[in-house]
Amino acid sequence: MRHLLAVAAGLALLATSACSAPTPPRAAAVSPTPTGPATLPAPTGPHPVGITALYLKDTSRPDPWNLDAKARELKVTLWYPTKQRDGQRAAYMTPKESELLLKGAGIASAPYDTLSKTHTNAIKDAEPAGTMLPLVVLSPGFTKPTSTLTSLAEDLASRGYVVAGIDHTYESYATTFPDGRVAECLACDSNSDPGFGAGLVQGRAADVSFVLDQLPSKWDGSGRIDRSRIAMAGQSIGGSSAVAAMLEDPRVRAGVDMDGTGYARIPKSGLSRPFMFLGSAQHVSGGPAPTWDRDWELLTGWKRWIVLTGAEHQSFTDTPLLEDALGIEPLPGVLPAARAAELTRTYVAAFLDQHLNGKRQSLLDKPSSRYPEARFCPENCVPS
């Protein structure tokens, strides 16, 4: 399989055609010097945000990538509302994780520990607040840690959601465990195998079900979760994994695919739970990534298909927000980083508010003059 070193929203990140819709290779415009640590945008909800990490071991199955591991180990990051406003802000990632991610992505325009200095908004190990909170599972793109969805996770937590971001071990450049072990990307050696994408999303669906099984006993704040209100969202292969998880686990009531090619095959009987596609122009109806056309017909419940004009594959992650810190100039014509984050947060939160909180969102009914970049497919997704 041909590897594409693509710059998405100005940040070069290694993408493979097995795990994302095709992205044309482009060269980055690199500025002379980085600007210093990145700061993620403040959450927009009324609650301060806490964060903690869980480390889980599934002894019922071997690891699909590490043949020497007889159990599947997972790191789960939890973001949640808290009343605590002061305390230590969580690290975005460790220096070693930053190094491995930048090396894996071929980025040498800034020191390798740069991403470990990114400023987040969540308070480490803060006391959870609230009761009967909906739960959102997040799954990142292939080779990426769940930390690359931090801006979205923090915003959802500030709005009253518990967010569980799963690091799918050996599928990202680096996952650090409590004993200091760093699991690197073993799956990267297999991504040319036939059926790789389909197998990957099935494994992630199993990860999701295991995490849902374990939360009640492994997190002290789990009693605050309303387990009848669970959704999943993901970017790239993580978005396709949301479909896979919904097909395997009825506890996942609603799902969002952010720019992910459909490797999970919906049966002819259809998927009747609410689902939203949120993507870039490569996913317009009749466009070069046809799996959304196929799956749209098989979504038999509430559904939306929204394309953001000017978005690229990584526009739905923190990637564009990190450009300046890495000394990479944005590409012309691409959604500005702050606007991409605002649109992603707004539409994902609207979907979740409607389907987990029962609050009707007119934003999801038709195009908005406030967000003209959002095109509703399949009828009106191509800009005039």
| pLDDT digits 0-9 by tens, 221-267 | 999 999 999 999 999 999 999 999 999 999 999 999 999 999 999 99
d(CA 110, CA 32): 10
The b/e string for 267-285 (b: 16+ C-beta within 10 A; e otherwise) is eeeebebbbbbbbbbbbbb
280 assigned to some structural domain: yes
Residue 32, pLDDT score: 46
36 assigned to some structural domain: no
Across the range 171-193, mean pLDDT stands at 92
Per cent of the chain over pLDDT 90 is 83
311 assigned to some structural domain: yes
41 assigned to some structural domain: no
283 assigned to some structural domain: yes
CB atoms within 10 A of CB 13: 25
d(CA 251, CA 214): 14
Residue 226, pLDDT score: 97
Domain CATH for 240: 3.40.50.1820
Across the range 151-179, mean pLDDT stands at 97
CB atoms within 10 A of CB 132: 12
Please, where are the H alpha helices in 78-167? 95-105, 150-158
DSSP 143: B
Q: What is the domain count for the chain?
A: 1
* Both structure tokens of 71: 């159990």
Q: What are phi and psi of 259, to 5 degrees?
A: 65, 35
d(CA 247, CA 256): 13
| pLDDT digits 0-9 by tens, 122-149 | 999 999 999 999 999 999 999 999 999 9
Cβ atoms of 138 and 161 closer than 8 Å: no
Strands 11-16 and 3-8: antiparallel
| pLDDT digits 0-9 by tens, 255-273 | 999 999 999 999 999 999 9
- pLDDT of 5 > 70? The answer is no
Across the range 174-202, mean pLDDT stands at 92
Strand partners, 128: 82
> In the predicted model, what is the mean pLDDT of the chain?
90
Residue 384, pLDDT score: 56
Q: Is the pTM of this model over 0.85?
A: yes
DSSP 141: -
Among 10-19, 67-76, 86-95, 180-189, the range scoring the smallest mean pLDDT is 10-19
Q: For residue 264, what are the domain limits?
A: 3-31+47-377
Bigger pLDDT: 109 or 124? 124
383 assigned to some structural domain: no
